[in-house]
């Protein structure tokens, strides 16, 4: 206990010390906080003594500690032995609010892109830009839609034209003998036992058939077209330069009711041929196939005058 | 220690609970947070200087927040909100840096 007596004497000594030092420190802190320096002097002194005060012999260390309680020591003292003081609690509450705000802000900025934290005028600008963009895109969509309709239309037209062209090509091909044809018609068989049938008689038969509306004719495997000619002599007839022999077989597509009478008219083809001891048989059929073909030849000089 | 715990609990609560901030307060929250950070750094420095007073801390904390929000509000009304809030952030940032320098001098003695 004798030690207790000298202690009170050195103890008051450190107290005044924090007093003046904050004043000088307060000068540096911030010009905006002059009150803190004066208040801090009393608070800093008030916060520490409760620790040292109650315990009797801890005062023995007091002479060594108080002289320079450095910032680091103060920090450590404030951190480690967790004391529940009024200051700590108040600061804790405020820091809780700070942490809450910080977390909310961080969350909201990372959450919903940049729009959430954007200012009003920025939002208005963004909205305007979006409106413009929407309008532009809408216009582009309309334009592209019109273009698409146009293209579809024209492709439809092109398709139609192509179909028509194909159809026409087929029709012309039948006339030119470049494609096979089938349909109702007749088959005329001329057996020439005497070998007296002349080429011009066959030509007459062809002319007669054409006059009666024959659309496709072939003779013994030779397609008869506009430029077909008969040559040679009886027994050695040539069609377009190809020799054909009896019996002569005409395969004709046309209306059978027209074709047959055309051959049988008095003084007509059949009678003329029968006069030469040839026999002529005419068979009607609902399905005649004319499949002898000619190569498509490009005329050397004649050109289409239409486009 | 309790104070640090309070900060940690606040962050965790903000992340977990995900409270809805009213739209009126929302634009001022970031500035308020920065202002509060400035107050906290000032308080930490005062503590290291041994001149910490809880009352001063509370007042400076709240007034920082309120004034910062007020400035932003005023700026929004005047049509210079963006520039003004940038200015506030710059000023607060400078103060935070100077306080941090003082704290560093205390803690690391450098």
Q: Residue B79 falls within a domain, yes or no?
A: yes
Give the residue ranges of chain A where pLDDT is below 50.
1-65
The structural domains of chain A, ordered by start, are 2-83 (no CATH), 181-290 (3.30.70.1880)
| A230-233 sheet: strands from edge to edge | A230-233, A236-239, A242-244
Q: Which of B26, B53, B61 sits opposite A40 (nearest CB)?
A: B53
**Are residues A272 and A169 in contact, defined by beta-carbon separation less than 8 angstroms?**
no
Look at A94 and B61 and tell me if their CB atoms are within 8 Å: yes
Alpha carbons A35 and A115: distance in angstroms, whole number = 42
pLDDT digits (tens, 9 = 90+) for A140-191: 999 999 999 999 999 999 999 999 999 998 888 888 888 889 999 999 998 8
Q: What is the pLDDT of residue A200?
A: 87
Q: Which of A22, A87, A122 sits opposite B50 (nearest CB)?
A: A22
Q: What share of chain B is helix, strand, coil (3-state, %, to 5)?
A: 85, 0, 15
Q: Measured between beta carbons, which residues in chain B are less than 8 angstroms from residue A21?
A: 50
Alpha helices (runs of H) in chain A, residue ranges in sequence order: 20-29, 34-47, 49-52, 71-79, 86-111, 120-176, 199-211, 256-264, 269-275
Q: Measured between beta carbons, which residues in chain B are less than 8 angstroms from residue A84?
A: 2
Q: Containing domain of residue B67, as a range?
A: 26-108
Least Cα separation, residue B63 to chain A (angstroms): 12
Q: Residue B15 falls within a domain, yes or no?
A: no
Task: Of A87, A205, A285, give the one whose Cα is nearest residue B57.
Answer: A87
pTM: 0.43
Look at B106 and A25 and tell me if their CB atoms are within 8 Å: no
User: C-alpha dihedral over B73, B77, B79, B81, to 10 degrees?
Assistant: 0
Q: What is the pLDDT of residue A16?
A: 40
B15: nearest CA partner in chain A: A103
Least Cα separation, residue B2 to chain A (angstroms): 6
pLDDT above 90 as % of chain B: 16
Alpha helices (runs of H) in B18-110, residue ranges in sequence order: 29-49, 54-78, 81-108
Q: What is the pLDDT of residue A2?
A: 41
Q: Residue B34 falls within a domain, yes or no?
A: yes
Alpha carbons B21 and A117: distance in angstroms, whole number = 12
Q: Residue B9 falls within a domain, yes or no?
A: no
ipTM of the complex as predicted = 0.83
pLDDT at residue B62 above 80? yes
Alpha carbons B78 and A259: distance in angstroms, whole number = 104
Cα atoms found within 13 Å of the Cα of residue A152, Cβ hemisphere only: 6
Collapsed DSSP state (helix, strand, coil) of residue B110: coil
Alpha carbons A282 and A264: distance in angstroms, whole number = 9
A36: nearest CA partner in chain B: B56
| A181-192 sheet: strands from edge to edge | A222-224, A216-219, A248-253, A181-192, A278-290
Q: What is the pLDDT of residue B73?
A: 87
Q: Measured between beta carbons, which residues in chain B are less than 8 angstroms from residue A87?
A: 52, 54, 57
Q: What is the pLDDT of residue A29?
A: 41
Q: Which of B6, B42, B82 sits opposite A30 (nearest CB)?
A: B42
**Are residues A116 and B27 in contact, defined by beta-carbon separation less than 8 angstroms?**
no
The answer, for B110 touching chain A at a CB cutoff of 8 Å, is no
Q: Measured between beta carbons, which residues in chain A are less than 8 angstroms from residue B29?
A: 101, 104-105, 108
Q: What is the pLDDT of residue A111?
A: 59
Q: What is the pLDDT of residue A67?
A: 55
Least Cα separation, residue B82 to chain A (angstroms): 8
**Are residues A188 and A249 in contact, defined by beta-carbon separation less than 8 angstroms?**
yes
Task: Of A204, A226, A202, give the one whose Cα is nearest residue A216.
Answer: A226
Question: What one-character DSSP code corresponds to residue A56?
Answer: S
Collapsed DSSP state (helix, strand, coil) of residue B43: helix
Quote the Cα angle for B45-B47-B50, to 5°. Answer: 115
Strand pairing report for A242-244 and A278-290: unpaired
Look at B107 and A101 and tell me if their CB atoms are within 8 Å: no
Burial class (CB in 10 A: 0-12, 13-18, 19+), A37: buried
Q: Residue B16 falls within a domain, yes or no?
A: no
Q: Domain tally for chain B?
A: 1
**Are residues B103 and B44 in contact, defined by beta-carbon separation less than 8 angstroms?**
yes
Task: Of B60, B69, B88, B57, give the one whose Cα is nearest residue B24.
Answer: B69
Q: What is the pLDDT of residue A69?
A: 65
Q: Residue B3 falls within a domain, yes or no?
A: no
Alpha carbons A213 and A207: distance in angstroms, whole number = 10
Q: What is the pLDDT of residue B57?
A: 87
Q: What is the pLDDT of residue A138?
A: 97
Alpha carbons A86 and A47: distance in angstroms, whole number = 10
Q: Measured between beta carbons, which residues in chain A are less than 8 angstroms from residue B27?
A: 117, 119-120
Q: What is the pLDDT of residue A34?
A: 40
Q: Which of B7, B53, B102 sits opposite A36 (nearest CB)?
A: B53
Question: What one-character DSSP code corresponds to residue A81?
Answer: S
Residue A271, φ and ψ in degrees, nearest 5: -65, -40
**Are residues A216 and A292 in contact, defined by beta-carbon separation less than 8 angstroms?**
no
The answer, for B7 touching chain A at a CB cutoff of 8 Å, is yes
Q: What is the pLDDT of residue A113?
A: 60
Work out the number of other CB atoms within 10 angstroms of the CB of residue A157.
Answer: 10
The answer, for B91 touching chain A at a CB cutoff of 8 Å, is no
Q: What is the pLDDT of residue B95?
A: 92
Q: Residue B1 falls within a domain, yes or no?
A: no
Task: Of A279, A281, A283, A267, give the one whose Cα is nearest residue A196.
Answer: A279
Q: Which of B9, B18, B55 sits opposite A39 (nearest CB)?
A: B55
């Amino acid at each position: 206990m004798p030690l207790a007596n000298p202690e009170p004497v050195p103890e008051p000594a450190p107290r005044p010390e924090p007093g003046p030092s904050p004043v000088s420190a307060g000068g540096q802190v911030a010009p905006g906080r002059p009150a803190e320096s004066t208040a801090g002097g009393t608070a800093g002194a008030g916060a520490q003594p409760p620790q040292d005060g109650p315990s009797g012999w801890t005062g023995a260390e007091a002479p060594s500690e108080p002289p320079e309680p450095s910032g680091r020591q103060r920090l450590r003292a404030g951190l480690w032995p967790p004391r529940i003081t009024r200051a700590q609690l108040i600061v804790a509450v405020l820091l809780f609010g700070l942490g809450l705000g910080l977390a909310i802000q961080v969350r909201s900025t990372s959450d919903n892109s940049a729009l959430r934290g954007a200012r009003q005028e920025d939002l208005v600008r963004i909205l305007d830009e979006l409106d413009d963009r929407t309008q532009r895109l809408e216009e582009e969509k309309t334009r592209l839609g019109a273009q698409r309709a146009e293209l579809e239309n024209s492709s439809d037209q092109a398709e139609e034209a192509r179909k028509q062209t194909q159809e026409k090509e087929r029709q012309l091909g039948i006339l030119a003998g470049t494609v096979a044809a089938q349909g109702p018609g007749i088959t005329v068989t001329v057996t020439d036992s005497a070998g007296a049938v002349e080429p011009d008689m066959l030509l007459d038969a062809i002319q007669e058939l054409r006059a009666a509306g024959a659309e496709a004719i072939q003779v013994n495997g030779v397609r008869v077209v506009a430029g077909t000619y008969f040559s040679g002599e009886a027994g050695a007839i040539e069609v377009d330069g190809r020799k054909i022999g009896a019996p002569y077989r005409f395969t004709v597509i046309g209306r059978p009711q027209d074709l047959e009478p055309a051959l049988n008219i008095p003084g007509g083809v059949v009678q003329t041929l029968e006069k030469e001891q040839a026999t002529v048989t005419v068979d009607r059929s609902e399905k005649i196939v004319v499949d002898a073909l000619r190569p498509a030849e490009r005329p050397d000089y004649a050109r289409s005058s239409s486009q | 220690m309790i104070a640090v715990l309070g900060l940690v609990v606040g962050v965790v609560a903000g992340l977990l609970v995900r409270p809805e901030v009213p739209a009126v307060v929302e634009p001022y929250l970031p500035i308020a947070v920065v202002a509060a950070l400035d107050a906290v750094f000032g308080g930490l420095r005062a503590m290291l200087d041994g001149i910490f007073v809880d009352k001063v801390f509370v007042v400076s904390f709240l007034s920082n927040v309120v004034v910062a929000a007020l400035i932003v509000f005023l700026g929004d009304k005047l049509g210079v909100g963006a520039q003004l809030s940038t200015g506030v952030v710059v000023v607060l940032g400078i103060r935070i840096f100077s306080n941090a320098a003082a704290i560093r001098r205390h803690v690391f003695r450098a």
